[in-house]
Amino acid sequence: MDAFVARQPIFDRKKALFAYELLFRNGLSNFVPDIDGDMATSSLLSSSFFTIGIEQITGGRKAFINFTENLIIQELPLLFPHEKTVVEVLEDVRPLETVLLALKKLSAKGYYLALDDFIFQKNLEPLIQLANLIKIDFRQTPISEIQKLLDSDHLKGKKLLAEKVETNSEFNQASEMGFHYFQGYFFCRPEIIKSKEIADSNISLLRILSEVNKPDSSFGEIEKMVTTDLSVSYKLLRYINSAFFNRKNEITSIKQALIYLGENELRRFISLITLSKIGASKPTELIRNACIRARFCELINSVSHCAESPDMLFTLGLFSNIDAILDKPMTEIMNHLPLSEKIISALVDNTGPLSAYLELIKTYEKGDWNPIPKLANQICIAEEVIPSLYREACNWSNALTG
């Protein structure tokens, strides 16, 4: 069975992507309960799952990975490239001599160390001294306690990460308190300003976005959008020659690129360019997230015997966080768009036949594994195909937004 792996973005103070935390179903111990030191087994494990799989999921970014006390002692992090790996020490790891020796070895080899769900205790000082970064749960820990900890000397010189930051106001508060990095889905939440109107230019772009994804839209018009815009043409050539397509020979002309892509893939490409223009002032990860959801929902059609059309599913995912991109309520945005009632009801009220598709990708990207079997059953797919769909969606999004 393919491994269930999701990613959660980590941002810096400018809301630029810093890294991803990787979320494994049942943790790494489920996959490697006994590391016996056999080099052949370790090499196979590293190349077939960890190295290749993680590279696909993270798109080359740093990966925060949780390690239990046992896996640290067994030096499992050494299977991962130190340039890309942040060793996340779980909150129940004890500062045993064997643990400290293993962490010192990892640190000496260039691994970045982070303490997860940190709550200060005197006996943790040896771990604190070794750590590069401290993660603090911004919702579970009272703000007064967090501030007291930040004002003390215990964490002096350490990078600080606020996790479970779910709103923009929480992000601003954590930033003002002195945190360097932020984890959570605050970037998917709109900062709604009542007096703010949707700009006419964005309304036009939204209509282009919805028209492009209609099955009966004109390919000739889509082609014209590419050939008459130099920046779009440049991005198309970069995309078509990216590692995603694994081409031996470089494509150097727009005409070649258009023929190679075909109508459906060109629609998807124009959708991204248009969405990027709408969300130019927003974190790139927000656009990347919309692309992953769109592609994931679309791919469900290929493995389900009861799925809606791929065009409808792609559009559903693409518009799933348009409220955060425009900082407007979803209901208001839908009033400007000629989308189907099925899509609108799923986006606005989370109801109707399409809501399960959106709920599935949202729960998966958060690593909320429990609802997945029921949701998979609702849309007629086998649970074990989901990881490969997610991985392919990430690959596609990485190629488009890289």
Cα–Cα distance, 138 to 178 (Å, whole number): 13
Q: pLDDT confidence of 30, banded at 50, 70, 90?
A: low
pLDDT at 31: 59
Query: For 125-132, which contacts have Cβ atoms below 8 Å and span 24 or more sequence positions?
Result: 125/95, 125/154, 126/95, 126/100, 127/89, 127/93, 127/95, 127/99, 127/100, 127/103, 128/154, 128/155, 128/158, 130/100, 130/103, 130/104, 131/89, 131/158, 132/158, 132/159
pLDDT at 37: 41
Q: Residue 323 has what pLDDT?
A: 93
The three-class DSSP label of residue 6 is strand
Other beta carbons within 10 angstroms of residue 321's beta carbon come to 25
Return the C-alpha torsion angle 352, 307, 390, 401, nearest 10.
-80
**pLDDT at residue 234 in the model:** 78
Per-residue confidence (pLDDT) for residue 17, from 0 to 100: 95
Give bridge partners of residue 11 from the DSSP assignment.
17, 182
pLDDT score recorded for residue 205: 75
Closest to 78 (Cα-Cα) out of 99, 103, 53: 103
Chain position carrying tokens 């290749």:
52
CA-CA-CA-CA torsion for 389, 394, 397, 398, nearest 10 degrees? -150
Residue 42: the pLDDT is 53
DSSP-derived secondary structure for 287-311: HHHHHHHHHHHHHHTTT-SS---HH
- Give the model confidence (pLDDT) of 360-385 as tens digits: 999 999 999 999 999 999 999 999 99
The span from the CA of 54 to the CA of 3, in Å, is 11
Instruction: Tell me the average pLDDT of the chain.
Output: 86
Q: What is the pTM of this model?
A: 0.85
pLDDT of 157 strictly over 70: yes
Helix (H) and strand (E) counts in the chain: 19, 8
User: Are the C-beta atoms of residues 118 and 96 closer than 8 Å to each other?
Assistant: no
Whether 26 and 196 have beta carbons less than 8 Å apart is answered as no
* Domains delineated in the chain: 5-188 (3.20.20.450), 200-401 (1.10.3210.10)
Higher pLDDT, 36 or 303: 303
Place of tokens 């749960």: 137
Query: Among candidates 7, 8, 14, 11, which has minimal Cα distance to 281?
Result: 14
Check residue 46 and give its pLDDT.
61
Q: Cα(71)–Cα(33) distance, rounded to whole angstroms?
A: 9
Tell me: the pLDDT tens digits for 266-313?
778 888 888 888 888 899 999 999 999 999 999 999 999 998 999 899
Pairing between β-strand 181-183 and β-strand 85-89 as defined by DSSP bridges: unpaired
Task: Give the sign of the dihedral formed by CA 90, CA 92, CA 94, CA 95.
Answer: positive
> 216-271, pLDDT tens digit by residue?
666 676 677 667 767 677 777 888 887 777 777 888 887 788 788 787 777 788 88
Least confident span in 96-105, 189-198, 327-336: 189-198
Q: Using CB atoms within 10 A of its CB, is residue 378 exposed (0-12), middle (13-18) or buried (19+)?
A: middle
* Residue 101 CB partners (closer than 8 Å, separation 6+): none
pLDDT digits (tens, 9 = 90+) for 328-360: 999 988 988 878 899 999 999 999 999 999 999
Strands 17-24 and 5-11: antiparallel
Residue of higher predicted confidence among 152 and 169: 169
Q: Please provide the size of the chain in residues.
A: 402
| Residue 260, number of CB atoms within 10 A of its CB | 13
Q: How many CB atoms lie within 10 A of CB 126?
A: 15
What DSSP state is assigned to residue 30?
G
For the cut 50, the answer to whether the pLDDT of residue 39 exceeds it is no
Q: What is the mean pLDDT of residues 141-159?
A: 89
pLDDT of 38 > 70? The answer is no
Residue 322 C-alpha from the chain's centroid? 16
> Higher model confidence: residue 255 or residue 126?
126
What average pLDDT does the segment 37-65 reach?
67
Widest distance between CA atoms in the chain: 68
Quick one: pLDDT at residue 40?
46
Q: What is the mean pLDDT of residues 312-324?
A: 93
